[in-house]
Structure 1
Amino acid sequence: MSRLIIVSNRVAVPEAGSKAVAAGGLAVALKEAFTAYRGLWFGWSGKIAEQPADTPTIADRGRVRYAVMDLSPQDHREYYSGFANRALWPIMHYRLGLAAYSRADYAGYQRVNRIFAQALAGLIEPGDLIWVHDYHLIPLASELRGLGVANPIGYFHHIPWPSGEVFNTLPASNELLRAVADYDLIGLQTECDVHNLSRNLVDELRAIPLGGGSLMVDGRRTRIRSFPIGIDVEGFRQAADRAGMNRTVRDTVAGLRTRKLLIGVDRLDYSKGVPERMEAVDRFFASNPDQRGNVVFLQIAPKSRTEVPEYEQLSRDVNEVLGNINGSLGEPSWTPIQYVTKAYPRAVLAGLYRAARVGLVTPMRDGMNLVAKEYVAAQNEEDPGVLVLSKFAGAARQLPEALLVNPYDRFEVAEAIRAALYMPKAERLERWKPMVERLAREDVDWWARTYLTELEAFRTIEREPPAAAEAAQ
């Protein structure tokens, strides 16, 4: 059986004795891939060490072998907190004003990718497929090619790929474009992302379109395709069915009494539009005073990247907006916005999604946004809630029956909240059914299987290892 090597920035190694793939966003998404292949999962351990080892720590867990590397404090500061999350992340999400580029950070980003490639190269076997994930590791294929690795290497970009006018503001943009073109197959979330990257390669590197999503870049062929990531639809449905047994869900539902629940679930990030969403809820109550005391908005937003200054500022901004709204509208018996920064497991979230009449998923920009899909999957098939969804989320392409809104317009979002709350059951069912059916067809298993089937096709392409080709010149 062929072996699949998955590379991601962060790798959580399951406890010894467990044969299951570790729980977590990417781990859950790739579970199907590891049932079809023997697996090796490589990446950062999540640990910081003063003197990291040059070779990875290996742990075997059933069908999957884990190989993890520690980072030095400097590597973590420059590669992760610096270039990846203060330069690439804001640029990819169209937030030019928040981007902070540093040559030292970029050098650290390149250095860690080189260290990872050197450590990984010794673990690669001739028949392996290599699947690299996300913006932290854009240069990895280029580094591996330089070490003579000729295996099929694919890349999946989980966040948006912006237009050339935005991406090219990054000082290292052309180098990154050349690096991404060293992948055989580049997977993106939407056709818009595909257009943006393809157009930029043509305009900046004079790539030659070959048809079918393929481009010739500096004499090398790469293919760019849309593979919208899915979720475990059946798993979420079952979790929602069982959620009544969970104490957190029971207490939340009991506390609502006759009130209707609006819910938002996001990692606390400026791309998610949490303060803007709160302001839209405030606008809703201002326009619909009869709903004060009758509707509650629950925002769950676990904190992340607290070492990045922009995220600390965002936390302060959210608390200020929250305090102003609850202070001006709240009553002793009613708090309009309940804000929780604790992370909850799927079993709890599925129950809260089902209890909510409206799911508010209004990011300012998002590659896909799986919360939108989770909310739809968790609904009661006889009496579903309504999804209010940002038109700037990748999920909007697959869920056009949602109430699509401009998250920058709090009046429009407020009107959508009102429409969702007053929507008759027949219309709610009419909107929900095609969405859940589409999500069931294009679930997470479909996503992994479709991508890997296409990556497998690159096994048949004969090519000389880069090191050997250079030596022959």
Structure 2
Amino acid sequence: MSRIVVVSNRVALPQRSGGPAGGLAVAVNAALKDKGGIWFGWSGRVAPEPSDAPEVTHHGAMTYAVIDLTTEDYQEYYNGFANRVLWPVLHYRVDLSEFYRSDLSGYIRVNRMFAEHLAKIIRPDDVVWIHDYHMMPLARYLRESGHQNRIGFFLHIPMPPADIIQALPQHSETVGALASYDLVGFQTEGDKDNFARYLETRGGQPTPDGTGCDIGGRRVAFGVFPVAIETGAFVRRARHASRTRFVKAFHESLMGRKLIIGVDRLDYSKGIPNRLDAYEHFLRTGPEWHDRVAYVQITPKSRTDVPEYQEMDRYVSHKAGQINGAYADVSWTPLRYVNRTYSRSALAGFYRLADVALVTPLRDGMNLVAKEFVAAQDPADPGVLVLSQFAGAAAELGTGAVLVNPHDTEGMATALRRALDMPLAERRERHARMMRILEVRDIDCWAEAFLAALSPKEPATERREIALPRAAIRSVVRPPSPTSPWSSRLMPRGA
């Protein structure tokens, strides 16, 4: 039986305290913890010398294989090209990219090193699943060394239009290298279509059924696989967390005020400054809400040695101080801005307490906070999700959330006021629509759909179907195409 070999920049080792922090790590760990396989990637350590061989540990059915990076590797591959070039460009922010040829050389060097180490691990019949923008050219280097395995790639962040991709210097070495995979998966139809059009500009020929492209003498397939959460487990986690002493103390500190919550890593893609501007406008134009709401923005710092993030940290901290300076009273702080990490259990408890969640990125691949907030709610008295139309989650949750344009300050303030005033019946109806989607499209379905599409030997008739009432189908913003791996899960039998 074929093994599954997962490759990502960071590996969420089970013995490390704090658990996986990012959406990628959470999704992969949840998807594979019961299936077993190998998870290969960077250890998170910076060492004087590169690793001679992967460090291997076993935990349950999973094998973890990690390597160290040198300081030069870390600065050029990770801080340099991945986070100061690929990250902003793929989030439509070409203006924030800072390209150096030495960083691109480091990115290629580290990917080649990953390929060399991976070649020591994989067997000919292994299915290899590579994740995210750090590892775009990895399959090309595996192919160059003769590996013919089925290799899939999933992009957790957005894929911009072709003209933006082409603004990336030497884009053929990175985005163009995705043509070496058998399957490339995306969060949304828009991301998939953008990549397809990019390959066409490079001479690719779309397949007759539109599910892939012939380019460079091989065929690459495309698919849409929206990342999901462990819905049932998160519901239980939130219910339990709401009864803990810590969450109860937080609830008491609100003193009966309505809770608005935002949870985002400190990153310019998350739209936090725009959100604070909208909250300030809400307070300025709605004095009747003074002392009746509390906005808690939880924002752990990230990439603190990157100048753009340092500048953003200063700006957001200053803006939060301005808002409190202008509107706070001795007994009321309108904004609690917190730069620390909380456990997923604590966050689940916070979500369950919240009347409104502000999830308003300028651009996001998916945004699992939106899904976790919905799953955490009490169905009898749920909160309202205010969601950016530019988050991948909007494609699934758009008819239940209040959608906003994060660039529209007044529009977001109006949406916040609408969410706080929303009647209970409407809140219940909206929440039920979103929960129907989350219950079907859970993390196991995500992994199964991708791996089924990557493994052609699996008969389609063996794939599990999940029937839903037609009301659940209507709650999907964009109906899946007949060829989508989700189609059998969302279409009722006999439809």
Structure 1 residue 176: Cα displacement: 2.2
Name the CA distance, whole Å, in 1 between partners of 2:391 and 2:25: 22
SS at match of 2:123: coil
SS at match of 1:394: coil
Which residue in the other structure is 2:77 paired with? 79
For residues 304-343 of structure 1, the aligned pairs below 5 Å read: 304-343=302-341
Name the CA distance, whole Å, in 1 between partners of 2:363 and 2:225: 18
Q: Are positions 1:450 and 2:449 aligned together?
A: yes
Structure 1 residue 23: Cα displacement: 4.5
User: Residue 350 of structure 2 is aligned with which of 352, 367, 370?
Assistant: 352
Q: Percent identity of the aligned residues?
A: 49
Amino acid at match of 1:332: V
For residues 52-131 of structure 1, the aligned pairs below 5 Å read: 52-131=50-129
Amino acid at match of 1:428: R
Amino acid at match of 2:351: Y
Which deviations, in whole Å up to 9, do the C-alpha atoms of 1:84-131 show, x marking residues without a partner?
A: 000000001111111111110000000000000001101111211100
The answer (yes or no) to whether the contact 1:3–1:37 under 8 Å persists in 2 is no
Name the CA distance, whole Å, in 1 between partners of 2:314 and 2:30: 40
Name the CA distance, whole Å, in 2 between partners of 1:193 and 1:297: 32
Change in Cα spacing, 1:459 to 1:70, as seen in structure 2 (3 Å) is farther
The answer (yes or no) to whether the contact 1:152–1:458 under 8 Å persists in 2 is no
Name the CA distance, whole Å, in 2 between partners of 1:220 and 1:108: 28
Which residue in the other structure is 2:280 paired with? 282
The answer (yes or no) to whether the contact 2:54–2:66 under 8 Å persists in 1 is yes
Name the CA distance, whole Å, in 1 between partners of 2:372 and 2:216: 41
Amino acid at match of 1:2: S
The answer (yes or no) to whether the contact 2:30–2:230 under 8 Å persists in 1 is no
Structure 1 residue 63: Cα displacement: 1.3
SS at match of 1:69: strand
User: Residue 294 of structure 1 is aligned with which of 288, 292, 297?
Assistant: 292
Amino acid at match of 2:455: E
Which residue in the other structure is 1:179 paired with? 177
For residues 265-280 of structure 1, the aligned pairs below 5 Å read: 265-280=263-278
Which residue in the other structure is 1:225 paired with? 223
Amino acid at match of 1:369: N
User: Residue 26 of structure 1 is aligned with which of 19, 24, 31?
Assistant: 24
Which residue in the other structure is 1:8 paired with? 8
Name the CA distance, whole Å, in 2 between partners of 1:361 and 1:177: 28
Structure 1 residue 56: Cα displacement: 1.1
User: Residue 245 of structure 2 is aligned with which of 247, 270, 273?
Assistant: 247
Name the CA distance, whole Å, in 2 between partners of 1:56 and 1:108: 20
Name the CA distance, whole Å, in 1 between partners of 2:57 and 2:30: 20
Change in Cα spacing, 1:192 to 1:247, as seen in structure 2 (3 Å) is same
Deviates more, 1:239-248 or 1:292-301: 239-248
Which residue in the other structure is 2:424 paired with? 425
Name the CA distance, whole Å, in 2 between partners of 1:364 and 1:178: 25
The answer (yes or no) to whether the contact 1:2–1:127 under 8 Å persists in 2 is yes
Structure 1 residue 330: Cα displacement: 0.8
Structure 1 residue 35: Cα displacement: 5.2
Q: Are positions 1:415 and 2:414 aligned together?
A: yes
Structure 1 residue 169: Cα displacement: 0.5
Name the CA distance, whole Å, in 1 between partners of 2:287 and 2:341: 32
> Structure 1: 5+ residue runs without aligned partners?
461-473
Name the CA distance, whole Å, in 1 between partners of 2:451 and 2:57: 24
Name the CA distance, whole Å, in 2 between partners of 1:37 and 1:150: 23
Structure 1 residue 248: Cα displacement: 2.7
Which deviations, in whole Å up to 9, do the C-alpha atoms of 1:397-429 show, x marking residues without a partner?
A: 001121100001110000000000111001111
The answer (yes or no) to whether the contact 2:204–2:213 under 8 Å persists in 1 is no
SS at match of 1:457: coil
SS at match of 1:276: helix
SS at match of 1:398: helix
The answer (yes or no) to whether the contact 1:361–1:388 under 8 Å persists in 2 is yes
Name the CA distance, whole Å, in 1 between partners of 2:458 and 2:354: 47
Amino acid at match of 1:44: W
Larger RCO: 1 or 2 (CA < 8 Å, sep 6+): 1
The answer (yes or no) to whether the contact 1:151–1:459 under 8 Å persists in 2 is no
Q: Are positions 1:385 and 2:364 aligned together?
A: no
Name the CA distance, whole Å, in 1 between partners of 2:391 and 2:32: 28
Which residue in the other structure is 1:470 paired with? none
Deviates more, 1:450-459 or 1:149-158: 450-459
Name the CA distance, whole Å, in 2 between partners of 1:390 and 1:409: 11
RMSD between aligned alpha carbons? 1.7
Which residue in the other structure is 2:41 paired with? 43
Structure 1 residue 27: Cα displacement: 4.0
Structure 1 residue 28: Cα displacement: 3.5
Amino acid at match of 1:198: A
